[in-house]
Structure 1
Amino acid sequence: MKVGRFTAVLAACGYGFLLSPLLLVCLLSFSADDYLTFPPSGWSLRWFGALVANGAMLQAARTSLLLASVVTLLALAAGLPAALAVARGWVPGAVAALLSAPLLLPTLVLGLALLMALQPLALVATWPGLALAHIVVVLPFVVRIMTTALSALPAELEAAAATLGASPLRVFWRVTLPLAAPGAIAAATLAFLVSFDEVVISLFLVGPRLTTLSVALFRYTESRTDPLVAALAVALIAVTVVVVLTVDRLVGFTRTIGRT
């Protein structure tokens, strides 16, 4: 019993240490000061109002939402067949390792490599180039989660459908895909969040007319130190928490990720 209490105290201290920066950001977002100072001299919602009135940030947010949505759909379309091939053993194990290769490279190196590859094709600062770069980043996550989800499916159900005369394509659409839907939703959620939050690779590929929210936030902090940054961070944290908790409630996001 004492060991259990000691472990609980250690866990609470660890969570407190990890979450303390978020608490500080939340407090600063309600500051009435013109600069980031702690503790604030007063409390106000002025910076949330300033955030809503900031047209550049809102435009960048719309760009990130659209980009993340497109990237998520394309990553699922490409990652699902790849994950199925890996889960069923239709491809060598080296292929599965190759699909995870982008995760092994520093994002700075990957961003520079993508810039050098896309520049001759005139794809820098364009929607196709930015979407392609984000797909490279999120595809390994989709393949990893979907491989786990597909590997956990009972093979007997697919075999039974095949013995009843269903074609391989019909088996996939009527049996495999519905059973793997929770994993697909979890993979789509993670892909969307990773793409929406990507900043390092985006810095190499955005332009003056095409900027994501993460890049706009990064550039804003280079010249200003007001609490608008904290207000935006709190808004993003709130949206992320709501999305993750909702998906976890519906399909077991935490359990799906934990098995990978």
Structure 2
Amino acid sequence: MVGSTSTIGFRLLVGGLYLFLLAPILIVVPLSFSNDNFLTFPPSSWGIRWYVAMFQHQGLMSAFRVSILLAVVVTVLSLAAGIPAAYALNRFDFPGRNALMSLFTAPLLLPSIVLGLAILLIFVKLKLLATFHGLVIAHAVVTTPYVVRIMSTALSTLPASVEEAATMLGASPLTVFRRVTLPLMAPGLIASAALAFLLSFDEVVLSLFITGPRITTLPVEIFNYVESKTDPLIAAVSVVLVAATLLVVLLVERSIGLSKAMVK
């Protein structure tokens, strides 16, 4: 009886926490279908006016294209840098390995505003402000540590004996990595790619320090928009972004499963 009561209490607590986390979405979704000129809840009239306006807004669409291209480039670069780094840190024993691991993951410990200010001071001297290359470098600094961490966890769960067996059978190191190691760490690879893409696409604090009139990202454009206007357009944009994020999560879940992707 006591156990049943505690179970019901735990479920109520979890349900309350879910409701607390989802409460903003429960407000934003109805607001996105408002036909009003200002944010009012509940809306006095309904429609898809602001969804149409979103696709007709040149600034948002231009920033969206920049964010998509930026996220793709950053994801590729993060994987290209993070996978070899994680492999070397997990498969080779050399002096300073722990210090190198700490160096790779150091950006995870810094607040975004501190990291953004530091990058701003460096980019001013290198003349990388408001450039696509500068955005790629800055975002890669944030996303690569996540790739290193996830891939390190993925590699730590793979038995080295499998690679040793392939080597003893005459496979070259490149063949072993391509035919044995890479397929086995595919769940971690997909999780790393999805996380790097979403982190780069949604990054706003770091981008605020680097973007300018010549180039801007979607989160920064949204930030600038809400400073001067209070219409439901941003609610429509938010719903689309939430739906796109859920789609990425569902694709990962349907392809390999979230538990395998996170490599528990």
TM range (shorter): over 0.9
SS of 1:100's equivalent? Answer: helix
- Out of 168, 171, 174, the residue aligned to residue 173 of structure 2 is 168
Q: Deviations over 1:34-74 (max 9, x none)?
A: 11111211212101011011111011001000000000000
User: How far apart in 2 are the matches of 1:206 and 1:45?
Assistant: 31
Whether the aligned pair in 2 keeps the contact of 1:32 and 1:46 (CA below 8 Å) is: yes
User: How far apart in 2 are the matches of 1:254 and 1:32?
Assistant: 41
Classify 1:21/1:97 alpha carbon distance in 2 versus 1 (closer, same or farther; 3 Å): same
> How does the TM-score come out when normalised to structure 1?
0.96
Question: 1:236 maps to what in 2?
Answer: 241
SS of 2:215's equivalent? Answer: coil
Question: 1:86 maps to what in 2?
Answer: 89
SS of 1:119's equivalent? Answer: helix
Aligned residue pair count: 259
- Out of 206, 214, 219, the residue aligned to residue 201 of structure 1 is 206
Question: 2:125 maps to what in 1?
Answer: 120
Alpha-carbon shift at residue 89 of structure 1 (Å): 4.5
User: How far apart in 1 are the matches of 2:183 and 2:45?
Assistant: 53
Structure 1 residue runs of 5 or longer lacking an equivalent are none
> How does the TM-score come out when normalised to structure 2?
0.95
- Out of 138, 142, 147, the residue aligned to residue 142 of structure 1 is 147
Question: 1:52 maps to what in 2?
Answer: 55
| Pair 1:104 & 2:109 matched | yes
SS of 1:76's equivalent? Answer: helix
User: How far apart in 1 are the matches of 2:93 and 2:123?
Assistant: 31
Question: 1:5 maps to what in 2?
Answer: 8
Classify 1:94/1:214 alpha carbon distance in 2 versus 1 (closer, same or farther; 3 Å): same
Alpha-carbon shift at residue 258 of structure 1 (Å): 6.6
Whether the aligned pair in 1 keeps the contact of 2:31 and 2:43 (CA below 8 Å) is: yes
Structure 2 residue runs of 5 or longer lacking an equivalent are none
User: How far apart in 2 are the matches of 1:175 and 1:42?
Assistant: 58
Percent of aligned positions that are identical: 55
Whether the aligned pair in 2 keeps the contact of 1:145 and 1:256 (CA below 8 Å) is: no
User: How far apart in 2 are the matches of 1:41 and 1:162?
Assistant: 70
- Out of 250, 253, 258, the residue aligned to residue 245 of structure 1 is 250
Which amino acid counterpart does residue 8 of structure 1 have in structure 2?
Answer: R
Question: 1:35 maps to what in 2?
Answer: 38
Which amino acid counterpart does residue 76 of structure 2 have in structure 1?
Answer: L
